[in-house]
């Protein structure tokens, strides 16, 4: 089989367009953390149920968009679908329609246009773009109104000049198949095994609570630290840590394997959440220790650092690596669907969880789910670092 020549695609310019689009998506995701507190500070008070819908309403359309995106990627190519996504984003209005246009194929495109030794580094840049978008959204919203923040977010540029169309170069590797042949392919172990692993990875990442912190950061910081610390300053500190750890993750993915990074990230996430849960629980019985705000603040920072360095970039990175070429678009679409469904469930239930169980119970639940997911990943997560995509596919074929 003829191997695709990567020399044309292994430069950073092939990643610039997808990363820029993803940054704008990160700004959208960070907007609710600014919007909700400012709405509650006005006469337009919104209740817990309405807050959860405002924060989570984009996730389900994103999930549907992922399936549509998986199909379109196979029909019109990676570049063609990215252009279609951008046109939808420019025309459609509101969070729901923005969500439906949010299933970009950037990870698949970048995995197929980069050399194995650079692939992990470049794919991790997607998580950096999300973190940067969150930081920019929160930074702008700290100083100006949510209306002007929304205007700033929607004015962020989307640039695709650096996307290369390489469909013709891999056309010989793919054949048009009818519906029954596609269904048969989706039942093969080289598709089902990585699908189950990536879905578990996404669910673990989401239910470790990162987007709960992201979407309700000001409110959660108020609950955790009390009124003794500027919650907007704490939010920006956490966002800054996330940006730097995303950069660090790019470096680590180049140096370390996927498995050790997943284990380190999962263990650190669990320990940080356990400390947060223990401290907020102890404050109820020993109010005097609430003066030690550095304990929950440091725990929040280490939590964000550990989850950002591994759990956040790894499933998106591996999603572009583990699926066979013939069904990579569909596999990525189904995986991203699971991510956004879990995303929705976490963000939608966060207010009720913190209302019913308090921060101590909620952090404990997130921590235990992170621990269980980490154990599963230790048992089943494959190593894909520096391996050609065809070799990863062959490994799944051989495994019993």
Residue-level pLDDT, tens digit, the chain, 400 residues? 444 444 444 445 556 666 666 676 666 666 666 666 766 666 666 666 666 666 666 666 666 655 565 555 555 554 544 544 444 444 334 444 444 444 445 555 566 566 666 666 666 677 777 777 777 777 777 777 766 666 666 655 554 444 444 444 444 444 555 667 667 777 888 888 899 999 999 999 999 988 887 767 767 777 776 656 666 777 788 788 888 888 888 888 888 888 999 999 999 999 999 999 999 899 888 888 877 878 888 888 899 899 999 998 899 888 878 888 777 778 888 888 888 889 888 988 888 898 899 889 999 999 999 999 999 999 999 888 878 877 888 888 765 5
Alpha-carbon span 126 to 56, nearest angstrom = 21
Has this prediction a pTM greater than 0.85?
A: no
92 by Cβ neighbours in 10 Å (0-12 / 13-18 / 19+) ranks as middle
**Is the dihedral angle over the CA atoms 229, 206, 272, 287 positive or is it negative?**
positive
Closest listed residue to residue 44, CA positions, set 172, 170, 145, 122 = 145
Domains in the chain, CATH or no CATH each = 13-398 (1.20.1250.20)
- CB contact set of 99 (below 8 Å; sequence gap of 6+): 57, 58, 59, 60, 61, 62, 65
Alpha-carbon span 112 to 160, nearest angstrom = 17
What tokens appear for 85 in the block? 């996504």
Specify the residue for token string 């997943």. 262
Phi, psi of 321 (to 5 degrees): -110, -35
Q: Name the 3-class secondary structure at 2.
A: coil
CB 295 within 8 A of CB 275: yes
């Amino acid at each position: 089989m003829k191997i695709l020549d990567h020399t044309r695609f292994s430069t950073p310019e092939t990643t610039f367009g997808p990363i820029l689009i993803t940054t704008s998506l990160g700004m959208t995701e960070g907007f609710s953390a600014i919007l909700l507190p400012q709405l509650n500070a006005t006469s337009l008070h919104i209740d817990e149920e309405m807050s959860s819908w405002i924060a989570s309403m984009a996730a389900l359309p994103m999930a549907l968009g992922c399936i549509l995106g998986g199909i379109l990627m196979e029909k019109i190519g990676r570049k063609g679908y990215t252009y279609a996504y951008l046109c939808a984003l420019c025309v459609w209005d509101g969070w729901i329609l923005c969500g439906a246009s949010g299933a970009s194929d950037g990870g698949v495109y970048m995995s197929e246009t980069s050399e194995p030794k650079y692939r992990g580094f470049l794919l991790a840049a997607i998580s950096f773009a999300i973190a940067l978008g969150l930081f920019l959204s929160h930074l702008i919203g700290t100083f100006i109104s949510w209306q002007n923040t929304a205007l700033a977010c929607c004015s962020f540029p989307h640039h695709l000049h650096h996307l290369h169309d390489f469909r013709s170069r891999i056309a010989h590797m793919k054949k048009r198949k009818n519906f029954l042949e596609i269904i048969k392919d989706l039942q093969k172990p080289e598709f089902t095994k990585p699908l189950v692993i990536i879905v578990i990875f996404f669910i673990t990442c989401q239910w470790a609570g990162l987007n709960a912190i992201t979407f309700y950061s000001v409110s959660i910081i108020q609950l955790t630290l009390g009124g003794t610390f500027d919650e907007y300053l704490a939010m920006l500190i956490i966002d800054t840590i996330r940006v730097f750890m995303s950069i660090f993750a790019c470096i680590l993915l180049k140096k370390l394997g996927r498995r050790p990074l997943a284990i380190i990230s999962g263990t650190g996430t669990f320990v940080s959440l356990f400390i947060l849960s223990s401290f907020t629980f102890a404050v109820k019985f020993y109010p005097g220790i609430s003066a030690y705000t550095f304990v929950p603040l440091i725990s929040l920072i280490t939590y964000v650092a550990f989850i950002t360095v591994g759990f956040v970039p790894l499933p998106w990175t591996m999603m572009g690596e583990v699926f066979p070429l013939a069904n990579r678009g569909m596999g990525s679409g189904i995986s991203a669907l699971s991510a956004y469904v879990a995303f929705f469930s976490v963000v939608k239930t966060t207010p009720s969880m913190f209302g019913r169980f308090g921060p101590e119970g909620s952090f404990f639940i997130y921590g235990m789910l992170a621990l269980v997911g980490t154990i599963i990943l230790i048992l089943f997560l494959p190593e894909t670092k520096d391996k050609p995509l065809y070799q990863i596919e062959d490994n799944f074929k051989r495994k019993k």
